[in-house]
Structure 1
């Protein structure tokens, strides 16, 4: 079992980007935190995973930030995080670059990110200069040690392409969408308990002055053969604390990344090594 790391090694501290780990964590977006503090949203206003192509429509959904338990017992999270001064290229680069080293994942959000691993095959693909940037995360699997709001978990994040998610690829282009970061996740609490499946979807769109993440999570689901499948048994309901904790965590980690990423990308010159 991978250790829970809360500080950098002497060797890591020598790296130029170690400074980001030690910076004060950015204040979570107060507008989003205020919305979440009001309690669960109306489940009738959730986006069901069968309807992800609605994200390609212009404008916004009635609820872009909230959490709830769906009528079928699955958990749901929506968050709209803004990234001023960030580009789609920066986002694609980040999800390739940070998988290569514990400290890169840790500096993203040191309060809840404790380590990351990938296979040697995935490392080779990521480091290959001929691999297109999006394929440096799509099709790759990250094994992370993370606290998403309910205690430390070991999480397997198997990233998917837009095609695998079931997006209409004829419509999948700017300005409707810039990139999508999505995966089937399986989390195992360190404290014990059953493994928990989830679909993670970050739908990234350009906005004036930056990009926005229209994030959606369906806890209890996976994408299988381009379709969402509920994996939790009928009659079982995920505790509301799970989507609530994830929603707050999402705001925290992405508020911090939004502050770090423009400077880090410039310093690394957008290169993968």
Structure 2
């Protein structure tokens, strides 16, 4: 996309997302001066509420099995550092998530990345509290990201703002990965450029990463939108009983049709299943990724993505596979 249609990670620019008259392309990517990878998107979640979206961020980190539902060909695991706090129902969503870190292992393109995602209050990232309130934003799952082996160096700012609208919910997202003067407001960010270069992210690689992040974002959030309301209705409220599933039953279910596991690999059962919304379930060791890159279509200075006949389409054709698996455990 054209540079004039992008935003920088500056405080001034990120607050434009809160302006009622702000207009932008819904999806696209670019390489910003710095260099910095840039991705933007806006997605509609039909039938979804803010409560459902918040619940997902509390519910899914408990086990890798849940995380892989989100993007079967790319997500591996996403444990939470302060898991007990995340599951503390006496706290608000913000108290449970902000100041907490998810340790994500996921494929972005063909690269397995190990990331620390440090969720923070919107104001800590530079979003204006008054504008945020006036925009009637229902919530934020925005964060600073770092490479897992260098958690003290934020290499990325990720902004996700969600808002209920008639018929569902809109999610507005922005990603910035790399170096930019405005990132200096975050301690350690001045080391991002050299650290990324040491890890093989030069200018060309960052442009490729922008493309891969755009595809990843499109796939994971469109896929989540397709099943989240049904998943929430099934598991989003506590149940009085706890049902344990026999390992042999789970393995039988997995053997039927599990696109997420390496062929020939047996899922590893870590503990019994709790069918409620609490943070305990089965774990399947996963090391899978999508194998074919989508094609780029150029149109009106924007980059659109065509999945073509990619194996990734199978993830969408089996949208409810994971939900059916969880339901059959009861």
**Length-normalised TM-score, structure 2:** 0.62
In the alignment, which residue of structure 2 is the partner of 1:252? Answer: 219
Query: Which structure has the highest strand share of the two?
Result: 1
Report the CA distance shift for 1:242/1:154 in structure 2 as closer, same or farther (over 3 A).
Answer: same
Q: Distance in 2 between matches of 1:270 and 1:109?
A: 23
Are 1:237 and 2:199 an aligned pair?
A: no
1:182-221 mapped onto 2 (5 Å cutoff)? 182-187=142-147, 197-220=155-178
Structure 1's unaligned 5+ residue stretches are 1-40, 190-194
Residue 159 of structure 1 aligns with which residue?
119
| Structure-2 separation of matches of 1:215 and 1:269 | 24
Query: Quick check: 1:181–1:203 contact (8 Å CA) kept in 2?
Result: yes
Change (3 A) 1:72 1:226: closer
Aligned to 1:46: 6
Would the alpha carbon gap of residues 132 and 175 (structure 1) be closer, same or farther in structure 2, given more than 3 Å must change? same
Instruction: Quote the residue 2:310 is aligned against.
Output: none
Q: Which runs of 4+ in 1 moved over 4 A?
A: 221-230
Determine the structure 2 residue equivalent to 1:89: 51
CA root-mean-square deviation: 2.7
* TM alignment of 1:1-273, pairs within 5 A: 41-50=1-10, 51-119=13-81, 122-173=82-133, 175-187=135-147, 197-220=155-178, 231-232=192-193, 237=203, 239=205, 240-270=207-237, 272-273=277-278
User: Cα deviation per residue 1:57-89 (whole Å; 9 max; x = unaligned)?
Assistant: 114423231101012211100011110111111
Secondary structure of 2:227's partner? Answer: helix
Question: Which SS does the other structure have where 2:73 is aligned?
Answer: coil
Aligned residues: 226
Query: CA 1:227/1:216 → structure 2, altered by over 3 Å: closer, same or farther?
Result: farther
Deviation at 1:96, TM superposition (A): 1.3
Contact 2:35 2:179 in 1 (8 A): no
Residue 208 of structure 1: CA displacement?
2.3
Shift of 1:226: 6.4
Secondary structure at 2:142's aligned position in 1?
strand
Q: What runs of 5+ residues in structure 2 fail to find an aligned partner? A: 239-276, 279-330
Query: Given the superposition, is the C-alpha separation of residues 90 and 201 from structure 1 closer, same or farther in structure 2, using an over 3 Å criterion?
Result: same
SS in 1 for 2:99: coil
